[in-house]
Amino acid sequence: MAVSFKLVPKQNNLVAPPEVKYYPCAVSKGEADLDNLADVVSSRSSMSRADCYGVIIGLTEAIGEALADGKIVRIDALGTFQITIQGTAADSPEELGKSTIKGTKIVYRPSKKMKKRLENINFKRLR
Mean pLDDT along residues 37-51 = 93
Q: DSSP assignment, residue 14?
A: T
Look at strands 2-12 and 19-27 and give their pairing: antiparallel
The one-letter code for the residue type at 15 is: V
Q: Check: CB of residue 47 under 8 Å from CB of residue 33.
A: no
User: What is the C-alpha to C-alpha distance for residues 34 and 60, in angstroms, rounded to an integer?
Assistant: 11
Residue 1's pLDDT is 73
Residue 93: pLDDT band by 50, 70, 90 thresholds? confident
Q: DSSP 3-state assignment of 71?
A: coil
Is 80 exceeded by the pLDDT of residue 85? yes
Identify the CA nearest to 71 among candidates 83, 59, 61. 83
Q: DSSP 3-state assignment of 76?
A: coil
Mean pLDDT along residues 48-75 = 95
Predicted TM-score (pTM) of this structure: 0.75
